[in-house]
Chain A
Amino acid sequence: MSLKRRTILQMIPATAALSVVSGQSMAASHHVVVVGGGFAGATVAKYLRMWSNGGIDVTLVDKNSRHVSCIMSNLVLNGQLQLGDLSFDYSTLQDKYGVRIVQGGVRRIAAGMVELESGDLHECDYVVVATGISFDDIPGLDSRKIPHAWIAGEQTNLLRDQIREDMPRDNGTFVMTIPRAPYRCPPGPYERACLLADILRRRGDGHRVVVLDANDRIQAERTTFERAFYGLYRDIIDYRASVSVASVNSDERIVTTVAGENVHGDVVNVIPRHGAPGLLVESGLTGGGRWAPVNPTTYESSLIPGVYVVGDSQATAQPKSGHMANSQAKVCADAIIRAAAGLSTQNRERLANITTNSACFSPITATEASWLTAVFRLNTETRAMELVPESLGEAHDWNSENYSAMFDWSENLFADTFR
């Protein structure tokens, strides 16, 4: 590359920043409202601004002033991290990329319109919905007493504190339940079971971690987790497949299974089944299903044109995770920029190159981790995202090298999303 070209390239961000600051970007009439500032929403907002050189106005609405990452949050349970390490405000999105940040709940979504709970109306050309998951009700379940800790934040600290305070020194029982797939972060619950076993075997003797899995088998990294459950932690982890929760006694900490068995724990962690949040259901984005159907070449809703759904709420069969949400968000941002430019999102060259990928690390002990990875590509005939089979892989072993790489991975993913 010539020096001259480098110089020109280096000037581009400065020019873009200027046009944002001066508010004189060339196509300011294109306005996108992004609802939800997690991995999907923050990435869409950032990449829309970055790739349009500030040419598209972006407003990010979230009910909270910061996002707390679920990724790495199992390490809050064993005290290695604190929530502050995993909390990201939107100041960089605002200051560096020129995203307008609005804090508030959203009451209603329609094509070209987002209505806040405050009554404020935000009109726009495109709406992006990235509000993650909500949980099914389970009779008797009170998550203030029996935490799910599957949306990170206070729930994570509640579970951490219960583990610290309510598990006895010896012979304690920790019960956790895994919902029917698809749920957020396929390896996550198994990783949590391993970390709990690790915490408890250090605390004393005779502890048990009872894992009630609504699925008929381990959902991710099966080789790794089977080795951990039936090897390293064989004396602690009691894994039971195909066991669903019927009800919970939140005061007595008892889970009653569909088969009628009562399972009592000193600490109980119930993760209910997931679905798209009520906002999407009420706005007509789920069409009676559990998730919002979208076109995976754009993430535009199959039901409401002009509204896009990215991340865990959407119905493509890709795994639900923060890494995947970031990955999909870029496809969505590219599609919206093209749509704003009046250009096709469906030309052959673009479709042939739509990919997403997943990579994640799972701590198996407090010093060792495994990993899982996969690439997905568009099947141009069925128009569905499909796994590239040979790309699917999991670590041959859990070790400290992977554990260290886990921090590099999360650091880069967090930065690519929020910074």
Chain B
Amino acid sequence: MTQSKRRLSGIAILLSLPFAASPALAEDETVNRLLASQCAQCHGTNGYARGDFEDIAGEEAGDLFEDLSDMKGEDRPENIMDHQALGYSDEQIRRIARYYASLPEDDPERQAGSEREGEVEIERAGEHEYEREYEREYEREDEHEDEREREEHDDDERDEDDD
């Protein structure tokens, strides 16, 4: 294939992307798409999250911008998103918000009624059962510990200089 043909077919790839074709947008939507894809590790591919994490696709751009700005402005960052938001400039947050706002709120795949293949959800029922079992053990453990603490003193305190 000649270089010019290759270039043309390549441009066709980019133009086939959802937003690159919109003439109203001055900014490169594929840059926004790349930036926004960095949320997908936790919020799902294209912002359609699984489990209890928030879906962000189809959110109003203004709302997303405001939410992220609020997180960024926390005096004392407390959760993961407070820290994550601090990683992006206002301009980047605006781009991310614009990208997710441009997607449909409901996952087209789910709407089409197609079952998601290969659910990756890890057994939570078992997890909770395990949790209860452990809580019972913890209670016994705590009682045991209280007894021991009454009997012993801090003579087994670790020597912090032993390395």
Contacts and interface: CB of A to CB of B under 8 A. Distances in A.
A356 B35 CA distance: 9
Contacts, number: 228
Listed residue (B9, B34, B49, B121) with the most chain A CB atoms within 10 angstroms of its CB: B34
Contact of A47 (B3, B27, B37, B121): B37
B13 interface: yes
Contact of B13 (A55, A72, A412): A55
B45 A415 contact: yes
Interface string B131-145: 100110100010000
B87 A27 contact: no
A353 B90 CA distance: 12
Interface residues of A, number: 91
A242 B28 CA distance: 49
Nearest to B76: A396
A357 B38 contact: yes
Nearest to A393: B83
Contacts of A365: 134
Contacts of B12: 26-27, 55
A323 interface: yes
Contact of A240 (B86, B87, B163): B163
Interface string B37-78: 110111111000111110000100000000000000000011
Interface of B: 1, 3, 6-7, 9-14, 16-18, 27-28, 30-35, 37-38, 40-45, 49-53, 58, 77-78, 80, 82-84, 86-88, 92, 95, 101-104, 108-109, 111-112, 116-118, 120-124, 126-127, 130-131, 134-135, 137, 141, 156-158, 160, 162-163
Given A27-B12, A55-B16, 15 more contacts: A6-B104, A9-B108, A53-B17, A55-B13, A88-B118, A240-B162, A347-B28, A354-B34, A357-B41, A374-B83, A390-B86, A393-B83, A404-B52, A405-B52, A412-B40
